[in-house]
């Protein structure tokens, strides 16, 4: 394949008319550059939105109780019922492939409102959750000081609390030590053992103004007994929670004697489904980037094809001479194809390099100037780059094909005739 003379010739041909070669190369360069930039921008937006989703385990559903709407097994309709702690065990036993089943309870927020937390002279209205330690995996947060709830807290019903950055800002002075201090939640004192910060959001937002206490402590301190407010259920990776949710709901219907056709008694929210919608939006965006970029690239390739046709036309006589001297048609075709592939590959690689350099530049600019809303780390993967290069070689081949055919159609006698 590699022949010194052939490559020498390719370079000779392409360098005879520098300006034209550079202009042609620019078409392909620009095409691949735009393609790369579009993909990177799409990725940046995707990363940004993803961060807004936080690291929330997206394969999760939330489930709560409402009133029954159908009479069943001697029980009337419009009946109130609550999930209980043993339901967690029952779901776990009856539905496979579940990773976490977290029972949760809540004080404050939209249910009661009003100031419920007191520290010294300061008061505030915050959401207070009774939770198991697993919740940190389902609703990830960064523990910024101290620790999160653990199973010793659950077992011995310790009155400890983990407070959000927003809570800290409202109840404490700047620089004040938080760990080890006490806050009073609805008349019960809790020791603060940790602070958290949720990803992405700033301190003023609601999700930073939450207080987490052990589930068991919560139940006892606020008289919830066995009651479970709602559950956050996460499936194992590889199984979508959407495929399991009917089984989970049915298990609960049986347990709580709800009519099997009563669709309103148990409410749920499927986060996975929502997440999938966003996912398909990004898939759509990626497609648009690929389609637009490819069209730009195609116009560049047509440019190459065009120039190769002109080059062949210009060299008609030379090709005729070569044919007369005994060069085989295949060799001429190979020559034209190689020139075309060489031109597209080189200019394409330049486009890839320049594009990557620009993306790198944007990234370091973003890093140094702080985060921008909904736009984080624009990038393209190695697979994308390598398939772009493959695409270039194929398109070089395609661009050279028609000119190569027209080159071998040159009959030596006709080429030599016009003198």
Partner 1 sequence: MIEIKDLHKSYKMGSNSLHVLKGINFKAEKGELVAIMGSSGSGKSTLLNIIGMLDLADTGEYVLDEVPIKNLSETKAAQYRNKFLGFVFQSFNLINYKNAIENVALPLYYQRVGRKERQEKALNYLDKVGLKEWATHLPSELSGGQKQRVAIARAMAAEPKVLLADEPTGALDSKTSYEVMDLIQNINDEGNTILVVTHEEDIAHMCKRIVHLKDGVIVEDKKVEQVRASEYVQ
Chosen residue from 254, 328, 386, 405 binding partner 1 by CB under 8 A: 328
CA distance 389 to 383: 10
389 binds partner 1 (CB under 8 A): no
Judged by CB under 8 A, which stretch of 4-12, 86-94, 354-362, 382-390 contacts partner 1? 4-12
Site for partner 1 contains 405 (CB under 8 A): no
Rg (CA), the chain: 34
Rounded Cα–Cα distance for residues 174 and 153 (Å): 28
Task: Out of 49, 278, 366, 408, name the contact with partner 1 by CB under 8 A.
Answer: 408
Closest separation between CB of residue 342 and partner 1, Å?
A: 17
- Using CB under 8 A as the binding rule, whether residue 329 contacts partner 1 is answered as yes
d(CA 378, CA 414): 56
Q: Which is nearer to partner 1, 114 or 326 (CB)?
A: 326
The answer to whether 12 contacts partner 1 (rule: CB under 8 A) is yes
Applying the rule CB under 8 A, the residues between 268 and 327 that interact with partner 1 are 317-318, 321-327
Distance, CA of 178 to CA of 190 (rounded, Å): 12
How far is residue 113's CA from residue 246's CA, in Å, rounded to a whole number? Answer: 33
- 330 interacts with partner 1 by CB under 8 A: yes
**Under the criterion CB under 8 A, does residue 54 sit at the interface with partner 1?**
no
Beta bridge partners of 64: 230, 267
Q: Which residue has the tokens 């078409």?
A: 27
Pick 198 or 322: Cβ nearer partner 1: 322
Closest Cα partner for 352 from 302, 389, 304, 396?
A: 389
Nearest-angstrom CA–CA distance, 252 and 242 = 16
For the bound state, the minimum distance from the C-beta of residue 407 to partner 1, rounded and expressed in Å, comes to: 12
**Binding test (CB under 8 A) with partner 1, winner from 54, 92, 146, 412:** 412
Cβ of residue 345: shortest distance to partner 1, in angstroms?
23
Residue whose structure tokens are 């020791």? 191
- Compare residues 331 and 381 and give the one whose CB is closer to partner 1: 331
Q: Does 253 bind partner 1 (CB under 8 A)?
A: no
For position 406 contacting partner 1 by CB under 8 A, the verdict is no
Between 295 and 330, name the residue whose CB sits nearer to partner 1. 330
Whose Cβ is closer to partner 1: residue 324's or residue 365's? 324
By the 10 Å C-beta count (0-12 exposed, 13-18 middle, 19+ buried), 409 is classed as exposed
Task: Select the span of 97-105, 137-145, 297-305, 404-412 touching partner 1 (CB under 8 A).
Answer: 404-412
Site size for partner 1 (CB under 8 A): 23
Residue closer to partner 1 by CB (options 154, 416) is 416
Q: What is the distance between the alpha carbons of residues 140 and 51, in angstroms, rounded to a whole number?
A: 12
Considering the rule CB under 8 A, would residue 157 count as an interface residue with partner 1? no
* Binding-site string for partner 1 from residue 13 to residue 32, where x marks contact by CB under 8 A and - marks none: ---x----------------
Identify the residue among 93, 173, 177, 419 touching partner 1 (CB under 8 A). 419
187 binds partner 1 (CB under 8 A): no
Whole-number minimum distance, CB 392 to partner 1, in Å?
27
Q: Given the rule CB under 8 A, which residues bind partner 1?
A: 4-5, 12, 16, 317-318, 321-331, 408, 411-413, 416, 419
């Amino acid at each position: 394949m590699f022949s010194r003379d052939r490559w020498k010739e390719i370079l000779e041909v392409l360098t005879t008319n520098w300006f034209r070669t550079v202009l042609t190369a620019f078409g392909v360069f620009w095409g691949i550059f735009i393609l790369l930039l579009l993909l990177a921008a799409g990725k940046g937006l995707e990363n940004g939105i993803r961060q807004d989703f936080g690291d929330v385990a997206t394969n999760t559903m939330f489930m709560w109780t409402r009133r029954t709407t159908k009479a069943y097994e001697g029980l009337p309709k419009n009946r109130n019922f609550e999930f209980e702690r043993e339901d967690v065990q029952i779901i776990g036993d009856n539905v496979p492939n579940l990773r976490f089943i977290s029972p949760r309870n809540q004080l404050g927020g939209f249910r009661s409102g009003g100031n419920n937390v007191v520290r010294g002279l300061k008061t505030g209205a915050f959401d207070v959750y009774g939770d198991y330690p697993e919740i940190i995996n389902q609703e990830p947060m960064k523990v910024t000081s101290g620790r999160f709830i653990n199973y010793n807290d659950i077992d011995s019903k310790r009155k400890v609390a983990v407070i959000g950055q927003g809570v800290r800002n409202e109840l404490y002075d700047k620089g004040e030590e938080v760990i080890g201090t006490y806050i009073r939640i609805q008349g019960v004192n809790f020791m603060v053992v940790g602070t958290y910060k949720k990803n992405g959001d700033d301190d003023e937002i609601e999700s930073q103004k939450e207080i987490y206490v052990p589930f068991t402590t919560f139940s006892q301190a606020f008289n919830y007994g066995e009651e479970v407010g709602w559950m956050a259920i996460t499936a194992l990776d590889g199984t979508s929670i959407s495929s399991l949710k009917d089984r989970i709901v049915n298990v609960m219907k049986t347990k709580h004697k709800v009519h099997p056709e009563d669709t309103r008694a148990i409410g749920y929210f499927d986060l996975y489904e929502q997440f999938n919608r966003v996912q398909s939006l990004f898939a759509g965006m990626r497609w648009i980037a690929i389609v637009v970029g490819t069209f730009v690239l195609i116009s560049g390739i047509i440019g190459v094809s065009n120039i190769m046709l002109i080059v062949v036309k210009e060299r008609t006589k030379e090709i005729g001479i070569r044919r007369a001297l005994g060069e085989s048609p295949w060799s001429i075709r190979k020559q034209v194809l190689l020139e075309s592939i060489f031109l597209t590959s080189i200019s394409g690689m330049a486009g890839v390099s320049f594009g990557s350099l620009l993306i790198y530049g944007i990234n370091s600019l973003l890093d140094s100037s702080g985060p921008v809303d909904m736009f984080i780390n624009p990038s393209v993967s190695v697979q994308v780059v390598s398939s772009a290069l493959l695409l270039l070689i194929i398109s070089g081949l395609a661009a050279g094909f028609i000119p190569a055919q027209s080159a071998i159609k040159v009959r030596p006698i006709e080429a030599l005739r016009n003198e």
